């Protein structure tokens, strides 16, 4: 039974008790506790059920490596599953619940899985896929989904705020233990811009618990002195609760800072994701202790030796009154001594080594602790908590030589340096046989952009496990107990039979046992990466921090090869999980994406326009009136525009100015038709193709002066076409004298469209907008109704139409004025859908509807816009390729449905026969389709095989389901074929 000790606890503040609950039961801890220490201090040893077998589980560790003690934390919108109790700080009112059991933690139906372990071997999932096929979907998956897994999923949106920050430094030191402090001091004194980050709330790492002297001071004192100096250096930044999650190329490091977890609901960012550019990274990330593999090593109460002494020393929590220590090294003896110091009992230290003569064993023996040498634990007794251990010979097969009563087992299988950040970008490891661990190979570090070493490992992370060695490498003297060599132990006892290996856990979180890895090896899995995926070893949220080395050692043994020949699995970021909220940061709600607004946006919004996203813009699709359907609104807007006058906010249209002596020559290359011959004051419609000949943009070009053109692009094409122009000018035709500027946002542009458009503009006054001097396809500049205006007489609707460009700052005022002045003329705004129908009635193509990246102008009957006189333009050569000139390319036609219905968008016209894949041949495809209130029926544009030669023919198109809709091939110009209306 665990309990809170009456004295001690260097991290807790007994004056500040904190209340929390576990499964609804009120409990109490202290400020400075983690959830883990508080739970253990409150006597809660069993904290959850395991993933696959539903075995009772408790704390194994005291830090990031904890695999078992995950809880659901909080409720409603702040509910979060799988919170690692060892790294979550206790706060007042914390609500925690254990996971993966039904109906309760103490009685769990799923525990039956533990009895069925022989039927749930490694590769169980893969095997269930095999046969019968239907069994997976209907039998296994539903059952497994219910039974396996950890915490529940939150059901509400996260109400908290997150943010990201960019930081830059010369040296980033990761890990605030003594090695990290020493490294930061060294670099800081040199004047480097240093960041020192520590994932916990405390500086000093393990050393305050493990003890020793540094530079003539007690370790704890040296840490204080070092911190004081670091804090005094203006070039050094210190952060706690900041976990460096990943090291990336170019010195980029991601770190997660915890700000608000202990203050739910506080108006602060909960987490902050730091995006750090570091000249160099020094990893001082320490080492993690390894478990030993003996039967029942997962029973609640079996813990890492280092964790046991952490709980005693840091939080004054006794994991048990009688603690058996089992080890293969000297370090674990520190735990026995710490327990004695705390007044607890150590029935025995079980040491797998034949002899233990080191300094620490000698102290332990001198203090009267029984040391059982050459022994191991055959099995742990107890199910929901440890009641005792059976002791056996380590070299034997597990026959019990004695039984020891105890309520806690402190195990140590040696230590593994935390090499994650070293390894993320390709730092190599070498096998250290003496300590049975992989350590960074300083000859093969991860390299930066200049080929320089980018990461340096120091301290235990570098494989120096003893304080004296760590500080010596940092140039400081230190005193710590000498440790005798450890002995690798991958299975306890060495000759454990199946029955013991079936219960010897390697990966506690994913329930992978020694027997599973051995089975994988027998089934032919040789690569450690394959074995990992087959057995799921190391694939849980702890990413195998405890299981990795033990697992690959067992695999190596089963394969009969040395451990370095097996190698490690790949270390990937993040080191510990980072919250999705921090990845999204500010990008949610209104800031999810930049929303581009025209100067008239607020007017549209106030009229409750139905929006259509166009790129990052929002454009009004239509302006429904009260009780009006969208379709009715669109029809009304079209009819009004054809009969009276409509206003369109065309501000999003791309406007690129192109200027220079070579501007005409440049545009002749970009457009398929001739632009250099355009007269000043006139406008010309043009097409742009890519190098492969495909149509990619269109628009009207206005010649502003002898050497200046204004190119209108589609809304979505503005940035892309500007980039396209600059690409050609900067990379290919760098000696051409042309400058461009993207003026899209400089101007608000309003289309005034309809038979009464001229009347409306005349009411504003100030410019003569009559047929002469401003005929179709010309532009004029002046002051219109007090606005600095440039008026283009261009039409995308077939009506009399003026597009008025004014500086964006005046756009809203002009719009308001047009609405007011036009009231008696019946002026109405119209949206993008009306725009689409108006242009389709007129047979105008739309980039993105009639084009999809595979269509050339010739397909669309736009041969008239392709210059025959020019030597070259972008796409010309491609358009001469055989496939592009193939007469069987589908060509643009108009369609009229026979019964007036509207064809579905993208509908296909089936043809006779089937292709090699058994798919029906097709002979045409609808590219645009609308209800035309002007024509009074469904109209469409389509690309059809030999289409222009088949005028009048009726084709069947696919409707919804198996229905067919008949449509007649007609001229795509449905309205005012001669263009009389736009030319008045």
Residue 747 binds other proteins (CB under 8 A): yes
| Nearer of residues 567 and 660 to other proteins, judged by Cβ | 660
Within 10 angstroms of residue 155's Cβ, the number of other Cβ atoms is: 8
- Alpha-carbon radius of gyration of the chain: 38
| Least CB distance to other proteins at residue 482 (A) | 43
Question: Per-residue x/- mask for other proteins, residues 539 to 578, rule CB under 8 A?
Answer: ----------------------------------------
| Nearer of residues 505 and 611 to other proteins, judged by Cβ | 611
Residue 598 binds other proteins (CB under 8 A): yes
Q: Which of 149, 374, 716, 807 binds other proteins (CB under 8 A)?
A: 807
Residue 595 binds other proteins (CB under 8 A): yes
| Nearer of residues 738 and 855 to other proteins, judged by Cβ | 738
Residue 230 binds other proteins (CB under 8 A): no
Which residues inside 254-273 make contact with other proteins, applying CB under 8 A? Answer: 266-269
Which residues inside 767-786 make contact with other proteins, applying CB under 8 A? Answer: 786
Question: Per-residue x/- mask for other proteins, residues 691 to 730, rule CB under 8 A?
Answer: ----------------------------------------
Which strand (E) or helix (H) includes residue 749?
A: strand 747-753
Residue 808 binds other proteins (CB under 8 A): yes
Interior angle at CA 607, CA 603 and CA 610, nearest 5: 105
Q: Which stretch binds other proteins (CB under 8 A): 102-110, 150-158, 738-746, 951-959?
A: 738-746
Residue 746 binds other proteins (CB under 8 A): yes
User: Whole-angstrom Cα distance, residue 520 to residue 909?
Assistant: 55
| Nearer of residues 269 and 933 to other proteins, judged by Cβ | 269
| Least CB distance to other proteins at residue 815 (A) | 11
| Least CB distance to other proteins at residue 58 (A) | 37
| Nearer of residues 97 and 601 to other proteins, judged by Cβ | 601
Question: What number of CA atoms fall less than 13 Å from residue 648's CA on the CB side?
Answer: 26
| Nearer of residues 383 and 763 to other proteins, judged by Cβ | 763
Residue 593 binds other proteins (CB under 8 A): yes
Q: Which stretch binds other proteins (CB under 8 A): 437-445, 810-818, 938-946, 973-981?
A: 810-818
Residue 432 binds other proteins (CB under 8 A): no
Residue 739 binds other proteins (CB under 8 A): yes
Residue 433 binds other proteins (CB under 8 A): no
Q: Which of 147, 237, 362, 983 binds other proteins (CB under 8 A)?
A: 237
| Nearer of residues 116 and 606 to other proteins, judged by Cβ | 606
Q: Which of 597, 631, 901, 950 binds other proteins (CB under 8 A)?
A: 597
Q: Which of 395, 565, 591, 680 binds other proteins (CB under 8 A)?
A: 591
| Least CB distance to other proteins at residue 591 (A) | 5
Residue 280 binds other proteins (CB under 8 A): no
Q: Are 324 and 404 spatial neighbours (Cβ–Cβ below 8 Å)? A: yes
| Nearer of residues 573 and 599 to other proteins, judged by Cβ | 599
- Torsion angle, CA of 335/337/343/347, rounded to 10 degrees? 80
Within 10 angstroms of residue 733's Cβ, the number of other Cβ atoms is: 14
SS3 522: helix
| Nearer of residues 45 and 276 to other proteins, judged by Cβ | 276
User: Whole-angstrom Cα distance, residue 439 to residue 416?
Assistant: 8
Residue 734 binds other proteins (CB under 8 A): no
**In whole angstroms, how far apart are CA 51 and each of 68, 510, 566, 855?**
9, 6, 27, 54
Residues binding other proteins: number (CB under 8 A): 51
| Nearer of residues 272 and 503 to other proteins, judged by Cβ | 272
| Least CB distance to other proteins at residue 862 (A) | 31
SS3 56: strand
| Nearer of residues 720 and 812 to other proteins, judged by Cβ | 812
Q: Which of 144, 167, 340, 902 binds other proteins (CB under 8 A)?
A: 167
Q: Which of 590, 627, 918, 936 binds other proteins (CB under 8 A)?
A: 590
Residue 158 binds other proteins (CB under 8 A): no
Residue 294 binds other proteins (CB under 8 A): no
User: Whole-angstrom Cα distance, residue 863 to residue 454?
Assistant: 58
| Nearer of residues 210 and 257 to other proteins, judged by Cβ | 257
- Torsion angle, CA of 468/469/472/473, rounded to 10 degrees? -150
| Nearer of residues 311 and 747 to other proteins, judged by Cβ | 747
Q: Which of 586, 768, 823, 949 binds other proteins (CB under 8 A)?
A: 586
**In whole angstroms, how far apart are CA 852 and each of 544, 696, 892, 919?**
48, 8, 13, 22
**In whole angstroms, how far apart are CA 43 and each of 50, 58, 660?**
20, 11, 82
Q: Which of 107, 119, 166, 864 binds other proteins (CB under 8 A)?
A: 166
Q: Which tokens hold the place of 889?
A: 């390319």
Within 10 angstroms of residue 516's Cβ, the number of other Cβ atoms is: 29
Q: Which tokens hold the place of 305?
A: 């030796």
Q: Are 658 and 709 spatial neighbours (Cβ–Cβ below 8 Å)? A: yes
CA 974, 978, 982, 984 dihedral sign is: negative
Strand partners, 428: none
Query: Which has the closest alpha carbon to 29: 106, 105, 97, 94?
Result: 94
User: Whole-angstrom Cα distance, residue 107 to residue 723?
Assistant: 66
Residue 660 binds other proteins (CB under 8 A): yes
Q: Are 212 and 185 spatial neighbours (Cβ–Cβ below 8 Å)? A: no
Q: Which stretch binds other proteins (CB under 8 A): 105-113, 198-206, 317-325, 658-666?
A: 658-666
User: Whole-angstrom Cα distance, residue 819 to residue 600?
Assistant: 12
| Least CB distance to other proteins at residue 18 (A) | 22
| Nearer of residues 109 and 266 to other proteins, judged by Cβ | 266
User: Whole-angstrom Cα distance, residue 235 to residue 169?
Assistant: 9
Which residues inside 784-803 make contact with other proteins, applying CB under 8 A? Answer: 786-788
| Nearer of residues 142 and 613 to other proteins, judged by Cβ | 613
Query: Which has the closest alpha carbon to 129: 145, 141, 113, 120?
Result: 141
Strand ranges (E), 361-442: 371-373, 375-381, 388-393, 402-405, 408-412, 415-417, 429-432, 437-440
| Nearer of residues 416 and 598 to other proteins, judged by Cβ | 598
Q: Which of 146, 168, 250, 367 binds other proteins (CB under 8 A)?
A: 168
| Nearer of residues 477 and 661 to other proteins, judged by Cβ | 661
Following DSSP, what letter does each residue of 105-151 receive, concatenated?
Answer: SSSBGGGHHHHTGGGS-TTHHHHHHHSSHHHIIIIIHHHHHHHS-SS
Q: Which of 158, 163, 373, 612 binds other proteins (CB under 8 A)?
A: 163
User: Whole-angstrom Cα distance, residue 381 to residue 389?
Assistant: 5
Residue 814 binds other proteins (CB under 8 A): yes
- Torsion angle, CA of 607/613/616/617, rounded to 10 degrees? -30
Q: Which tokens hold the place of 439?
A: 């350590």
Query: Which has the closest alpha carbon to 516: 268, 293, 692?
Result: 293
Q: Which of 333, 617, 666, 709 binds other proteins (CB under 8 A)?
A: 617
Question: What number of CA atoms fall less than 13 Å from residue 163's CA on the CB side?
Answer: 7
Residue 49 binds other proteins (CB under 8 A): no
| Footprint of other proteins (CB under 8 A) | 161, 163-168, 237, 266-269, 275, 277, 586-587, 590-591, 593-599, 616-617, 657, 659-661, 737, 739-747, 786-788, 807-810, 812-814
């Amino acid at each position: 039974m665990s309990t809170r000790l009456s004295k001690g606890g260097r991290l807790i503040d007994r004056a500040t008790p904190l209340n929390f609950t576990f499964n609804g039961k009120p409990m109490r801890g202290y400020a400075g506790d983690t959830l883990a220490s508080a739970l253990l201090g409150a006597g809660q040893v069993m904290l959850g059920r395991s993933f696959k077998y539903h075995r009772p589980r408790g704390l194994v560790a005291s830090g990031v490596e904890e695999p078992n003690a995950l809880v659901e934390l909080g409720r409603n919108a702040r509910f979060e599953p799988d919170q690692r109790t060892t790294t979550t700080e206790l706060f007042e009112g914390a609500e925690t619940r254990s996971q993966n059991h039904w109906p309760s933690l103490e009685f769990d139906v799923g525990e039956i899985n533990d009895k069925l372990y022989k039927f749930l071997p490694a590769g169980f999932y893969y095997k269930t896929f095999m046969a019968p096929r239907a069994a997976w979907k209907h039998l296994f998956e539903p059952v497994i989904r219910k039974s396996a897994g950890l915490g529940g999923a939150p059901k509400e949106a996260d109400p908290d705020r997150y943010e990201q920050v960019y930081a830059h430094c010369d040296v980033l030191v990761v890990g605030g233990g003594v090695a990290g402090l020493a490294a930061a001091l060294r670099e800081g004194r040199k004047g480097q811009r240093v960041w020192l980050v520590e994932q916990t709330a405390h500086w000093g790492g393990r050393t305050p618990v493990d003890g020793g002297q540094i530079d003539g001071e007690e370790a704890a004192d040296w840490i204080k002195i070092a911190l004081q100096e670091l804090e005094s250096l203006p070039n050094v930044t210190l952060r706690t609760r900041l976990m460096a999650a990943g090291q990336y190329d170019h010195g980029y490091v991601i770190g997660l800072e915890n700000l608000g977890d202990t203050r739910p609901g506080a108006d602060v960012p909960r987490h902050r994701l730091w995006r750090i550019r570091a000249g160099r990274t020094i990893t001082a990330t320490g080492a993690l202790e390894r478990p030993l593999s003996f039967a029942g090593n997962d029973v609640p109460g079996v813990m890492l030796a280092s964790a046991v002494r952490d709980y005693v020393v840091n939080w004054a929590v006794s994991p048990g009154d009688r603690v058996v220590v089992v080890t293969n090294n000297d370090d674990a003896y520190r735990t026995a001594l710490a327990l004695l110091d705390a007044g607890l009992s150590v029935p025995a230290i079980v040491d797998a080594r034949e002899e233990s003569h080191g300094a620490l064993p000698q102290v332990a023996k001198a203090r009267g602790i029984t040391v059982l040498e050459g022994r191991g634990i055959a099995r742990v007794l107890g199910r929901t908590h440890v009641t005792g251990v059976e002791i056996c010979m380590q070299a034997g097969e597990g026959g019990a030589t004695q039984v020891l009563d105890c309520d806690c087992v402190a195990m140590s299988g040696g230590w593994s340096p935390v090499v994650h950040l070293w390894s993320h970008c390709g730092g190599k490891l070498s096998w250290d046989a003496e300590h049975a661990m992989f350590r960074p190979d300083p000859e093969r570090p991860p390299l930066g952009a200049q080929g320089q070493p980018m990461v340096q490992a120091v301290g235990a992370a570098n494989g120096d496990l003893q304080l004296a060695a760590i500080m010596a490498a940092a140039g400081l003297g230190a005193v710590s107990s000498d440790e005798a060599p450890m002995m690798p132990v991958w299975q306890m006892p060495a000759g454990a039979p199946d029955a013991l290996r079936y219960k010897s856990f390697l990966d506690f979180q994913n329930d992978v046992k020694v027997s599973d890895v051995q089975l994988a090896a027998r089934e032919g899995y040789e690569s450690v990466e394959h074995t990992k995926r087959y057995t799921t070893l190391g694939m849980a949220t702890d990413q195998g921090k405890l299981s990795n080395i033990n697992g690959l050692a067992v695999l190596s043994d089963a394969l009969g090869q040395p451990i370095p020949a097996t190698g490690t699995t790949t270390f990937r970021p993040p080191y510990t999980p980072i919250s999705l909220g921090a990845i999204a940061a500010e990008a949610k709600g209104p800031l999810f994406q930049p929303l581009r607004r025209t100067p008239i946006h607020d007017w549209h919004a106030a009229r409750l326009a139905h929006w259509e996203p166009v790129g990052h813009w929002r454009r009004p699709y239509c302006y429904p009136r009260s009780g009006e359907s969208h379709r009715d609104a669109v029809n009304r807007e079209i009819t009004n525009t054809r009969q009276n006058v409509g206003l369109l906010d065309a501000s999003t249209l791309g406007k690129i100015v192109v200027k220079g002596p070579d501007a005409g020559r440049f545009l002749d290359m970009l457009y398929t038709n001739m632009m250099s011959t355009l007269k000043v004051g006139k406008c010309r419609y043009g097409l742009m193709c890519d190098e492969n000949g495909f149509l990619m943009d269109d628009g009207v070009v206005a010649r502003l002066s002898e050497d200046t053109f204004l190119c209108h692009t589609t809304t979505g094409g503005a940035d892309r076409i500007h980039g396209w122009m600059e690409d050609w000018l900067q990379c290919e035709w760098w000696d051409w004298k042309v400058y461009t500027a993207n003026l899209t946002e400089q101007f608000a542009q309003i289309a005034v469209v309809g038979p009464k458009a001229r009347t409306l503009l005349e009411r504003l006054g100030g410019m003569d907008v009559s047929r002469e001097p401003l005929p179709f396809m010309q532009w004029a500049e002046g002051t219109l109704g007090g606005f600095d205006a440039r008026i283009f007489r261009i039409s995308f609707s077939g009506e009399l139409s003026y597009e008025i460009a004014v500086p964006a700052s005046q756009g809203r005022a002009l719009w308001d004025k047009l609405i007011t002045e036009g009231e008696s003329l019946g002026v109405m705004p119209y949206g993008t859908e009306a725009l689409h129908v108006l242009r389709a009635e007129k047979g105008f193509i739309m980039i993105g509807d009639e084009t999809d990246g595979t269509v050339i102008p010739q397909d669309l009957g736009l041969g008239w816009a392709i210059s025959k006189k020019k030597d070259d333009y972008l796409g010309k050569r491609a358009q001469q390729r055989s496939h592009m000139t193939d007469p069987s390319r589908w060509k643009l036609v108009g369609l009229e449905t026979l019964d007036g219905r509207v064809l579905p968008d993208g509908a296909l016209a089936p043809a006779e026969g089937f292709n090699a894949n058994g798919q029906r041949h097709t002979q045409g495809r609808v590219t645009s389709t609308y209800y035309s209130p002007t024509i009074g029926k469904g109209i469409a544009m389509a690309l059809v095989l030999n289409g222009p030669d088949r005028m009048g023919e009726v084709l069947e198109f696919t409707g919804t389901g198996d229905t067919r809709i008949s449509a007649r091939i007609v001229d795509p110009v449905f309205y005012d074929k001669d263009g009389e209306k736009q030319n008045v």
